[in-house]
């Protein structure tokens, strides 16, 4: 039953875990200390690509304080987050693939002893040619970084065509062709990854870890340690920031788990900041080519997008990331035909993976900057152009995703209104400008990472005569407010205060499975499961209370910690009294809820990445001041409106929006995970250019602009209480809106991120010379994309399946 | 990535340290090379103080020494003997939160909460020096504390709200 009036939902509240966070009582993984605990340090490869000829640990084993030294020999089984890319080992047995690849581990009485013993491990490497860039990867057949993949160093190729895009572009009044590049960047959570493993009295393993995905870590440990999954418990400690950086299953987690099993003692590891930079799994660098057809009044006729994705040394989430560089281009605007070709290559750099927005911010940047160019050429206002082509609610996209509610038009109107757009765009004095952009994101991935028919989220509820409500759920608190959403939903249904709900979360030994904090899935999936479980409890409580009050259960209301008659609130029981009656009537009180997303309409192979129960939408206006002498960009204000469906806790929702703006602005202006070659006399290795928080630039309190946040509520029937996601979507429009604002300010196009002062100066110089005032990629290399999977869009008679019998030649040389 | 620095011999004998933390005297036996951060977290189990880099770059380990913010990862515990050390554990009075803590919890200034202790201590030092500190002073004061979650805005608002509550109380 969905209430029309809410007591908890939508009210600004202190989050349920707020007190623990401000008193220092929140126990992060590295805050855990256990009796007899030992410490672990990893020896990491100094070479980007090499075969391991031998590892001699004898000196390290004899070092004072050392209890155990592990190497690749101790871990014969590979792992990986995706079933199709089981390509990592806890410690590399034969081959290292990036500087920082773990090779050995020392477990000692303290960190210093472990650290010192690393120096006593003798590893003989046979260096292999280093593959530094996607171009080198495409051009190098051997050596192969992995012996699986498409061929050479091409990890994955994908190609889809939804309707005849060639014909759509021919039909268009204009065809725009643009290249964009989005440099990689990293999550930089303030908490470094840590994990503690211990063996309990029964000989079973427990791992506490700063992970966003305890369920997947649980599966990984059982696999690589060859122990029954039922004998492994993984507890996700609250994460000190995640942003996708703690979404992968990690080498160090397997290493300390193994060490604890061997030694029978607790073992802890905490990565240094430098190691966190090398662990990475962050934003993929992506080169993009867009060819988009438009009518003269600004309607899209078709789009052809090609992406080249720099994966780094391992698979990680990369296959999914590559799909995501093309999946969501269709959900914001009406796009009748769409063709997408994506390629991921291996390079000898730290593996890339999911960072906030997972694969979608890169093409969103390109698409929204290209729309700005289209509006400019057609003489249209870029906000008006977007408003005219916003996708329809309750519709299917060209690639067969189902859109439910869409508050995008309202988002655009709000930011246009609040920013004074009409008085500013193309009207501000030279050096000042505004830019607009939009975005969309998933509310949870429609399919789980490994194929199964089980629920993606489970919630269990326990009530007893004391009136206490305990809720168990595998969902993981990473700072985003997962615990608060869970407490709020249960409290709303049971008519109690959220602080009355005791939470047990993210613990594979105690809680029902939830797949974790990624893909913005928690509110929708956990929320549905929580409503189901709490709804069942509510019915029993109402039933028992009705019997006691001698009325029918339909007349009973649970609100404000009381159980009373809707039409006579004076006839009431306390919540505790009502629970006591229910326990007497029904026995021990418990209920479970489960959630699986609706079956997506896409039936074609590859159509599993991108469907979601709902999509969130965002529009953003950025204002900039550009100093033409220095290229420096100052951002005084950002206006952002997010279609959240329904707000559960406005304090937290606003925090997610502002945090996304902050992170997006950092990516737009300064953040980059880049690499450099050491000089030949220093091994010529490909190392991280700036593995420190001082040199990896991020915005400080002084750099952050004022953010004006608008939450647009268009409840989606597929979402709990109508609530969509808010953790990732608001990041997406920030980068293109900033790029578009720079153009409005000084008339130069910077078609690659980050937009640093040197690039602005270079473009201004080109402008002075009368050349095209643009800085960005000028070449898209030949990528051997395969013939596309052809799927007619819904309005061309398709049924969501690929059609056969359409011969398409492989565009092996689509170079521009 | 190798332990080159470890070739320098490290003095291993523990020394006795007399520390005063949150008004309580502690006798600690610890290695003389240990930072204040390590002694607080490892020897005194005061894990409320966090670390993000251990190089003085992120501000997560900020504590107060004689009332001034200090990065606990850059100072030896040895240097802090007989000085007044304050950590996040000393902010609340019994069950009553410090106004900064209450405002941070109420206004969303703590998301993951990891940078929070360092920012709370930095803000405390600011408001004790400048009870009327405005937005610009607050920004300057916490510009050495990195937060990746909030975008800082709710932190600014919480410090301002705490300052208001503290002025009303005074």
Per-residue model confidence (pLDDT) at position A684: 80
Mean pLDDT, chain A cut into blocks of 10 residues (816 residues total): 78 98 98 98 97 98 97 98 97 98 98 97 97 96 97 97 98 98 98 98 97 98 98 98 97 98 98 98 98 98 98 98 98 98 98 98 98 98 98 98 97 98 98 98 94 96 97 98 98 98 98 97 98 98 98 97 96 98 98 96 94 98 98 98 98 98 98 92 86 95 98 96 98 98 98 98 98 98 97 95 60 37
Per-residue model confidence (pLDDT) at position A813: 36
Beta strand ranges found along A627-719 (DSSP E): 633-634, 637-643, 675-677, 686-688, 706-712
Smallest CA-to-CA distance from A338 within A791, A802, A801 is with: A791
Inter-chain CB proximity B112 and A24 less than 8 Å? no
Q: How many Cα atoms are found within 13 Å in the side-chain-facing hemisphere of A296?
A: 1
Give CA separation, A406 vs A301, A412, A439, A617, in Å. Answer: 21, 12, 11, 7
Which CATH architecture fits A32-128+189-242+246-279? Alpha-Beta Complex (3.90)
Torsion-angle region of A678 (φ positive above 0: left; ψ -120 to 50: alpha; else: beta) = beta
pLDDT tens by residue, B15-49: 999 999 999 999 999 999 999 999 999 999 999 99
Per-residue model confidence (pLDDT) at position A810: 40
Per-residue model confidence (pLDDT) at position A237: 98
Inter-chain CB proximity A274 and B91 less than 8 Å? no
Q: Is the CB of A111 inside 8 Å of chain B's CB atoms? A: no
Q: Which residues of chain A from 334 to 393 reach within 8 Å of chain B, CB to CB? A: none
**Please, which pLDDT band fits residue B7 given cuts at 50, 70 and 90?**
low
In 10 A of CB B104, how many CB atoms? 30
Q: Report if residue B4 sits inside a domain.
A: no
- Judged against a pLDDT cut of 90, whether residue B10 lies above it is answered with no
Query: What's the rounded Cα separation, in Å, for the pair A346 and A329?
Result: 25
**Please, which pLDDT band fits residue B8 given cuts at 50, 70 and 90?**
low
> Of B90, B107, B134, which marks where a domain is finished?
B90
Of A119, A191, A693, the CB nearest to B2: A119
- Which residues are registered as beta bridge partners of B96? B93
Per the structure, how many domains does chain B have?
2
Of B49, B113, B142, the CB nearest to A21: B113
Of A24, A190, A239, the CB nearest to B88: A24
Pure H helices in A686-747:
734-746
Beta strand ranges found along A600-718 (DSSP E): 615-626, 633-634, 637-643, 675-677, 686-688, 706-712
- Cα angle A214, A216, A219 (rounded to 5 degrees) comes to 110
Q: Report if residue B61 sits inside a domain.
A: yes
Q: The domain that contains B71 carries what CATH number?
A: 3.10.20.30
Helix (H) / strand (E) element for B28: namely strand B24-30
Inter-chain CB proximity A701 and B145 less than 8 Å? yes
Residue showing tokens 């309990």: A200
**Please, which pLDDT band fits residue B170 given cuts at 50, 70 and 90?**
confident
Query: What's the rounded Cα separation, in Å, for the pair A308 and A340?
Result: 11
Q: Report if residue B6 sits inside a domain.
A: no
Smallest CA-to-CA distance from A38 within A268, A294, A368 is with: A268
Q: Is the CB of A143 inside 8 Å of chain B's CB atoms? A: no
Q: B75 and B15: one domain? A: yes
Q: Where in chain A is the domain with CATH 3.90.1170.50?
A: 32-128+189-242+246-279
Q: B86 and B103: one domain? A: no
Q: B64 and B111: one domain? A: no
Q: Report if residue B149 sits inside a domain.
A: yes
Inter-chain CB proximity B88 and A478 less than 8 Å? no
Q: B58 and B18: one domain? A: yes
pLDDT tens by residue, B113-145: 999 999 999 999 999 999 999 999 999 999 999
Q: Is the CB of A484 inside 8 Å of chain B's CB atoms? A: no
- List phi, psi (to 5°) of A94: -130, -25
> Of B90, B125, B141, which marks where a domain is finished?
B90
Q: In angstroms, how far is the first alpha carbon of chain B from the final one?
A: 53
Q: The domain that contains B157 carries what CATH number?
A: 1.10.150.120
Which CATH architecture fits A155-186+282-446+603-775? 2-Layer Sandwich (3.30)
Q: B55 and B116: one domain? A: no
Torsion-angle region of A261 (φ positive above 0: left; ψ -120 to 50: alpha; else: beta) = alpha
Q: Could you please report the per-residue DSSP string of A162-200?
A: ES-HHHHHHHSSEEEEEEEEE-------SSPPEEEEEE-
Inter-chain CB proximity A191 and B114 less than 8 Å? yes
Q: Report if residue B3 sits inside a domain.
A: no
Per-residue model confidence (pLDDT) at position B135: 97
Per-residue model confidence (pLDDT) at position A690: 87
pTM of the model: 0.96
Which residues in chain A touch residue B52, judged by CB atoms under 8 angstroms apart? 190-192, 240, 273, 693
Strand, coil or helix: A107: strand
Torsion-angle region of A507 (φ positive above 0: left; ψ -120 to 50: alpha; else: beta) = beta
Per-residue model confidence (pLDDT) at position A772: 97
Which residues in chain A touch residue B119, judged by CB atoms under 8 angstroms apart? none
Percent of chain B scoring above 70 in pLDDT: 94
Contact A134, A287 (CB under 8 A): yes
Smallest CA-to-CA distance from A123 within A64, A60, A176, A62 is with: A60
Q: B70 and B28: one domain? A: yes
Q: B71 and B110: one domain? A: no
A443: which 2 tokens?
A: 């509310």
Q: Report if residue B60 sits inside a domain.
A: yes
> Of B66, B90, B114, which marks where a domain is finished?
B90
Nearby residues of A100 by Cβ (< 8 Å), 6 or more positions away: A44, A45, A275, A278, A279, A350, A688, B1
Range of the domain at B142: 99-169
Q: B115 and B144: one domain? A: yes
Q: Where in chain A is the domain with CATH 3.30.365.10?
A: 155-186+282-446+603-775, 454-595
Which residues in chain B touch residue A238, judged by CB atoms under 8 angstroms apart? 112-113
Per-residue model confidence (pLDDT) at position A62: 97
Percent of chain B scoring above 90 in pLDDT: 91
Nearby residues of A667 by Cβ (< 8 Å), 6 or more positions away: A185, A283, A361, A731, A734, A735, A753, A754
Asked if this assembly's ipTM is beyond 0.85, the reply is yes
Q: B64 and B40: one domain? A: yes
Which CATH architecture fits A454-595? 2-Layer Sandwich (3.30)
Q: Which of A477, A701, A711 to mutate to test the interface with B (most CBs of B within 10 A)?
A: A701
């Amino acid at each position: 039953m969905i209430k029309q009036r809410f007591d908890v939902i939508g009210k600004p509240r202190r989050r349920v875990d707020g007190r623990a966070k401000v008193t220092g009582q929140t126990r992060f993984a590295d805050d855990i200390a256990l009796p007899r605990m030992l410490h672990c340090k990893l020896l990491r490869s100094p070479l980007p690509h090499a075969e391991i000829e031998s590892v001699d640990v004898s000196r390290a084993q004899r070092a004072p304080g050392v209890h155990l030294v592990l190497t690749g020999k101790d871990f014969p089984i590979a792992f990986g987050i995706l079933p199709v890319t089981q390509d990592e080992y806890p410690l590399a047995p034969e081959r290292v693939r990036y500087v920082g690849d773990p090779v050995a581990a020392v477990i000692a009485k303290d960190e210093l002893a472990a650290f010192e013993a690393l120096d006593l491990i003798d590893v003989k490497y046979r260096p292999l040619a280093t593959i530094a860039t996607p171009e080198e990867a495409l051009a190098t057949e051997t050596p192969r970084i992995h012996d699986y993949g498409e061929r050479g160093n091409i990890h994955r190729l994908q190609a889809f065509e939804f309707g005849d895009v060639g014909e759509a572009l021919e039909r268009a009044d204009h065809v725009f062709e643009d290249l964009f590049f989005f440099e990689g960047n990293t999550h930089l959570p303030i908490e470094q990854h840590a994990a503690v493993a211990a063996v309990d009295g029964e000989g079973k393993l427990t791992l506490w870890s700063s992970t966003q995905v305890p369920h997947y870590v649980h599966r990984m440990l059982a696999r690589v340690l060859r122990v029954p999954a039922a004998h492994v418990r993984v507890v996700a400690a609250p994460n000190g920031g995640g942003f996708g950086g703690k979404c992968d299953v990690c080498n160090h987690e397997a290493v300390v788990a193994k060490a604890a099993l061997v030694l029978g003692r607790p073992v802890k590891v905490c990565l240094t900041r430098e190691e966190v930079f090398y662990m990475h799994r962050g934003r993929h660098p992506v080169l993009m080519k867009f060819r988009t057809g438009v009518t003269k009044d600004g309607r899209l006729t078709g789009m052809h997008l090609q992406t080249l994705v720099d994966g780094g040394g391992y698979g990680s989430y990369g296959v999914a990331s590559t799909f995501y560089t093309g999946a969501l281009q269709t959900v914001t605007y009406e796009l009748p035909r769409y063709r997408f070709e994506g390629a991921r290559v291996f390079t000898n750099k730290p593996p890339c993976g999911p960072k906030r927005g997972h694969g979608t911010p890169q093409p969103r940047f390109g698409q929204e900057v290209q729309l700005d160019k289209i509006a400019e050429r057609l003489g249209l206002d870029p906000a008006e152009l977007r408003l005219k082509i916003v996708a329809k609610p309750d519709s299917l996209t060209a690639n067969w995703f189902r859109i439910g509610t869409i508050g995008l038009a309202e988002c655009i109107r709000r930011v246009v209104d609040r920013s004074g757009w009409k008085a500013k765009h193309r009207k501000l004095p030279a050096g000042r400008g505004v830019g607009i952009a939009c975005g969309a994101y998933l509310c949870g991935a429609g399919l789980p990472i490994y194929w199964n028919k089980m629920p993606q989220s489970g919630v269990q509820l326990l009530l007893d005569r004391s009136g206490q409500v305990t809720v168990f759920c595998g969902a993981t608190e990473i700072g985003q407010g997962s615990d608060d959403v869970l407490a709020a939903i249960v409290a709303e249904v049971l008519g109690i205060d959220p602080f009355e709900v005791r939470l047990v979360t993210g613990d594979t030994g105690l809680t029902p499975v939830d797949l974790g904090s990624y893909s913005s899935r928690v509110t929708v999936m956990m929320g549905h499961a929580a409503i189901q479980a709490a709804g069942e409890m509510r019915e029993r409580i109402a039933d028992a209370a009705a019997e006691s009050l001698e009325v029918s259960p339909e007349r009973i209301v649970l609100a404000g910690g009381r159980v009373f008659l809707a039409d006579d609130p004076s006839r009431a029981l306390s919540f505790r009294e009502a629970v006591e009656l229910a326990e007497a009537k029904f026995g021990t009180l418990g209920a479970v809820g489960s959630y699986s997303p609706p079956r997506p309409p896409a039936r074609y192979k590859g159509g599993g990445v991108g469907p979601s129960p709902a999509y969130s939408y965002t529009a953003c206006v950025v204002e900039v001041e550009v100093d033409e002498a220095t290229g420096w960009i100052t951002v005084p204000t950002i206006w952002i409106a997010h279609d959240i469906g329904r707000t559960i806790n406005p304090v937290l929702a606003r925090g997610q929006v502002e945090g996304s703006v902050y992170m997006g602005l950092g990516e737009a202006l300064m953040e980059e995970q880049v690499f450099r070659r050491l000089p030949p006399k220093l091994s010529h290795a490909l190392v991280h250019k700036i593995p420190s928080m001082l040199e990896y630039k991020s915005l400080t309190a002084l750099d952050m602009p004022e953010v004006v946040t608008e939450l647009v509520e268009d409840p989606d029937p597929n979402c709990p209480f109508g609530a969509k996601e808010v953790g990732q979507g608001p990041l997406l429009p920030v980068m293109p809106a900033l790029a578009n604002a720079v153009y409005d300010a000084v008339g130069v196009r910077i078609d690659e991120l980050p937009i640093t002062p040197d690039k602005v100066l270079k473009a201004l110089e080109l402008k002075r010379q009368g050349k095209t005032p643009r800085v960005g990629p000028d070449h898209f290399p030949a990528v051997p994309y395969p013939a596309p999977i052809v799927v007619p869009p819904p309005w061309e008679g398709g049924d969501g399946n690929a059609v056969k019998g359409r011969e398409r030649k492989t565009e092996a040389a689509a170079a521009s | 990535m190798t332990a080159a620095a470890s070739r320098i011999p490290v003095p291993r004998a523990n020394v006795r340290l007399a520390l005063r933390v949150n008004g309580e005297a502690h006798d600690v036996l610890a290695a003389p090379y240990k930072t204040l951060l390590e002694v607080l977290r490892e020897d005194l189990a005061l894990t409320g103080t966090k670390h993000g880099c251990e190089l003085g770059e992120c501000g997560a380990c900020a504590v107060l020494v004689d009332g001034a913010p200090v990065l606990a990862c850059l100072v030896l515990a040895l240097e802090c003997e007989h000085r007044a050390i304050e950590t996040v554990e000393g902010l609340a009075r019994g069950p009553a939160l410090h106004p900064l803590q209450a405002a941070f919890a109420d206004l969303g200034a703590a998301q993951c909460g990891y940078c929070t202790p360092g920012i709370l201590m930095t803000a405390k030092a600011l408001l004790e020096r400048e009870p009327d500190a405005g937005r610009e002073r607050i920004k300057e004061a916490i510009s050495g504390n990195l937060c990746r979650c909030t975008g800082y805005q709710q932190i600014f608002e919480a410090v301002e709200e705490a300052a208001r509550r503290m002025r009303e109380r005074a």
